[in-house]
Structure 1
């Protein structure tokens, strides 16, 4: 302790007693290496007190009475005229106290860290865990109703769902051919296709009307099937809705209408990234469907869809038509065009 060097030659005369029953005796007090040394008149050391464990009984009173911390029976009295020694002891005691750990501060820090951990748990872990649990327990019937509710909201922007009877029958046959049971066509969707909770895939009329063959529309449908296989359609809805609405769905089975409105707007304004090529090619192969027409519809230059063109599973093979010519013409008229 650097503060000790200033006082290492200070001495004072005081009265010391080893316990409450003993007589006080005159002693010489000096400061040593982190200790208060008490010696007799022959300079024989009687005892040493650690400066870190010296306490004062009567602050600001005289004679100043000190004792080892925890033992009030052993005392040392220093008269008022020994001001230099008294001041030195007090200063060294303060210096030692500053270096001691503060249990209160440590306790406060511990409480603060605990609160921070709980908050972090609530902010970072709990929403994800609750979302995972919701995805596990929400039944298919509720997923279908959510998909239908979102379709209703998409129609407010895109226009009413195309519902020509013979065209709808052709659409159903296309869905059966691709293994997709729920399909809808909207007249002015901002994207070629979307998939919604409950197995519902929505396509824009342009992917039907703007091409000469149904392979393009079928390709966009399979692309949504591929995306759906990668990510549960309910998860992005819950992510946009937030933890409170997630909790609401988990406990009541419903979402607020404004939450569905916001997610429908999100779907229309945030195009999904293209599905990964290899899993999509596998779907084309399973369906025995050419991937090239879909790829060229996405990019007429072929630059960004080269793997879909070169990896076409039906390349060089004869394929069965997806629809009869009559069904294809009926499907192209589903929106009354």
Structure 2
């Protein structure tokens, strides 16, 4: 059996690394990695191959930057000859990015079975490109591997056959379990002159937060409010940095006292900062999950989340009104010790990739 696993952006590497290792444990499975190049710069992709000890991709599509529509068309054109050459039995796609839905569509058009890891997640907001990608990919998938019960409920409500839905846990947590000790051994916090549990870690990259001047102005106010409470560590996503510069706002951020602006970090360095933070503020889906597992308080600067278990079971709270003042008030409560410690969701045990590999291995 031949499996092609798709990576395109940095969260994909975190999920595909344990899957690739789990597939290799089966002599009957030939596992290959396809990199679309959706994130093509070293800080967003190459470092993950190094830190996860992944082999170089078997195929690199080198898609061009541009709109989601243009990237989808580019992936469809460049992935087709790979499918024709490799003749895989399965294409495994993870998450909810452009590479996920485009490769699922290409595979489906060629009669290749698709497995979607992280299926069934729904925010209810189809204005989010990730939500559209999730819906399209799940409609095409032959196996849907789900991280939490709400995902199973969503898929059943959408008419997906019950035998296609597999509740297996969270493969992103597999990497966290495997590399947590290695990340903890780093001195990232000390190198920044910080003290553990005495700083706020911030990440922002969603279009509604960073693609407009109004969104960036809110972000600057969030940083100002947080910096009045604790030192702020802010690894700046390339998209966010470019837009701050475009709107002439980067200088105001760079000169803000009590703020540490960083280049994008490797996985290990970021986990080290996350585990030692007093609070994380983010608009990332994966960070909501990682903070839940690590029992670190998290404020998600979004009106909705596709990962309700991080709120119901974990340490996450929504800043649903996208108000910097609301975020400041919620952060003050958390930093004063008034927060939920949460618990680990079911099946988030570091063995999800093994369960997925076992299920796929049962298919001829």
Q: Return the TM-score normalized by structure 2.
A: 0.21
Q: Return the TM-score normalized by structure 1.
A: 0.22
Q: Which structure exhibits the higher relative contact order, with contacts defined as CA atoms closer than 8 Å and separated by 6 or more residues?
A: 2
Bigger-Rg structure (1/2): 1
